[in-house]
């Protein structure tokens, strides 16, 4: 019998959309599902609509269920978090554009689409006014470095408030038109299938050639960065509060968390939130947040944003981190998005996936003494997961792209972590 799934939907302000969803989950776990021993809490990534998220949950739960051994006496239910993430603009959805602009310029139209998507993602009167000014600048960009400088300055001004404890970001620097030149370079190719397929680069599309293309790419990266911030906010606030209430109503259940892409940041923020929640395991599948997030020493007395998850033992069992060099959305685009928002944006000259700005799904948790580096094994492979440790699982030969997570190999790893956590992690 498939694992039952109950949805928990949140708006961009981290507020539950429908209180009845929480009540339905509690009613099931205290009624028909009273025999449930383990609850899986799942979060999709930044680039999924609700239908894609449901499909991801179905596929991931099938991968987990297919790897459960018999005779464990464990019965599962799942809570699927739905949060408002925005995909990059699609070519077919071309907005009105700037008045009098030559609509035959496909790259410029894509830049306008990207601005339209960013406006919908931010959804505030203040940001809408700035984006209208950016839209008006598009016809002037070609050959006008002053307009390009103004575009970059206004765009970076839309960045989220800087968190001094978050090594993923910094206050926007005094970047100029050179950002557009770099991001319009023909060697930046993030092409791939759509995110709902097995592979892909999370909807980045093609990055190639020209100032207009650079403007669209820069805007898309800001959208990417904004969705990262939203995921952490919703996890640490709304989802943390709802899960804490559910747990209070259904004691003696083990809770396990698994998130994909920015959903990995959401569930990490949930576990690290202000209200204590039970967490037996934490599985971060191609996580799109800083690979230094759990670090205890980043220099100058600084630690990773989620260091408390480790130091305060907020997860009683194993933590899993899948990573793959084939995930271009995290290995390449994530460092670009983070560095574009960084304090050294004035010197924005490229990216280093293994450097300061790298993403968890690119090379695992870095600069973290509690992290072990292992290989993602075939289904049935023998792991020796340890409680209180981070296990970086190298999926270079298995995971083919950012969306390729609902696999027997990942299902098996999650199941082995759950079993390793044991009954003591309730």
Q: Residue 341 — pLDDT band, cuts 50, 70, 90?
A: low
Quote the pLDDT of residue 346: 40
CA contacts within 13 A on the Cβ side of 33: 23
Assess whether pLDDT exceeds 90 at residue 369. Answer: yes
Burial 69-82 (b: 16+ CB within 10 A, else e): eeeeeeebbbbbbb
Rounded to the nearest integer, the mean pLDDT of the chain is: 84
Cα–Cα distance for residue pair 134/356, rounded to 1 Å: 30
Quote the pLDDT of residue 95: 32
Least confident among 72-76, 236-240, 296-300, 320-324: 296-300
Percent of the chain with pLDDT over 90: 59
Tens of pLDDT, residues 120-172: 888 899 999 999 999 999 999 988 999 999 999 999 888 755 443 344 444 44
Percent of the chain with pLDDT over 70: 80
DSSP conformation letters of 34-78: TT--EEEEEE--TT--HHHHHHHHHHHHHHHHTTPPTTS---EEE
Other CB atoms within a 10 A radius of the CB of residue 186 amount to 10
More confident position, 352 or 51 = 51
Q: Are 355 and 335 in contact (CB under 8 A)?
A: yes
Q: Are 222 and 3 in contact (CB under 8 A)?
A: no
Quote the pLDDT of residue 19: 95
- Please return the burial class of 270, using the count of CB atoms within 10 Å of its CB with bins 0-12, 13-18 and 19+: buried
User: Which domains are delineated in the chain?
Assistant: 5-85+233-326+361-425 (3.40.50.1820)
């Amino acid at each position: 019998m498939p694992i039952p799934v109950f949805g928990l939907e949140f708006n961009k302000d981290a507020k539950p959309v429908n209180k009845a969803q929480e009540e339905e989950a509690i009613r099931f776990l205290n009624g028909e599902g009273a025999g449930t021993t383990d609850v899986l809490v799942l979060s999709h990534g930044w680039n999924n609509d609700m239908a894609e998220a449901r499909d991801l949950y179905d596929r991931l739960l099938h991968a987990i269920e297919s790897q459960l051994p018999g005779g464990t006496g464990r019965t599962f239910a799942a809570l699927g978090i739905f949060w408002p993430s925005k995909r990059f603009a699609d070519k077919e959805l071309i907005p009105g554009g700037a008045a009098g602009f030559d609509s035959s310029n496909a790259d410029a139209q894509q830049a306008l689409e990207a601005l339209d998507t960013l406006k919908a993602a931010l959804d505030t009167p203040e940001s809408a006014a700035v984006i209208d000014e950016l839209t008006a600048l598009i016809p002037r960009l070609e050959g006008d470095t002053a307009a390009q400088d103004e575009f970059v300055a206004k765009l970076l001004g839309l960045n989220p408030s800087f968190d001094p404890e978050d090594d993923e970001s910094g206050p926007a620097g005094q970047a100029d038109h050179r950002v557009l030149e770099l991001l319009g370079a023909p060697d930046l190719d993030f092409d791939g299938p759509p995110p709902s397929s097995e592979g892909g680069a999370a909807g980045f599309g093609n990055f190639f050639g020209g100032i207009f293309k650079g403007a669209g790419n820069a805007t898309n990266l800001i959208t990417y960065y904004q969705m990262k911030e939203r995921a952490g906010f919703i996890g640490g606030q709304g989802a943390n509060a709802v899960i804490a209430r559910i747990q209070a109503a259904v004691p003696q259940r083990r809770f396990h968390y698994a998130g994909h892409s920015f959903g990995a940041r959401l569930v990490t923020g949930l576990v690290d939130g202000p209200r204590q929640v039970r967490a037996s395991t934490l599985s971060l599948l191609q996580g799109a947040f800083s690979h230094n997030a759990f670090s205890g020493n980043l220099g100058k007395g600084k630690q990773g944003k989620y260091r408390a998850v480790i130091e305060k033992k907020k997860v009683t069992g194993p933590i899993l981190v899948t990573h793959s060099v084939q995930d271009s959305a995290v290995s390449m685009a994530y460092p670009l998005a983070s560095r574009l928002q960084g304090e050294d944006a004035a010197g924005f000259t490229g990216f280093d996936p293994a450097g300061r700005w790298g993403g968890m799904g690119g090379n695992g948790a870095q600069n973290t003494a509690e992290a072990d580096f292992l290989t993602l094994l075939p289904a049935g492979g023998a792991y020796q997961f340890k409680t209180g440790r981070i296990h970086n699982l190298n999926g270079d030969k298995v995971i083919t792209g950012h969306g390729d997570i609902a696999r027997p190999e990942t299902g098996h790893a999650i199941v082995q972590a759950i079993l390793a956590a044991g009954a003591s992690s309730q």
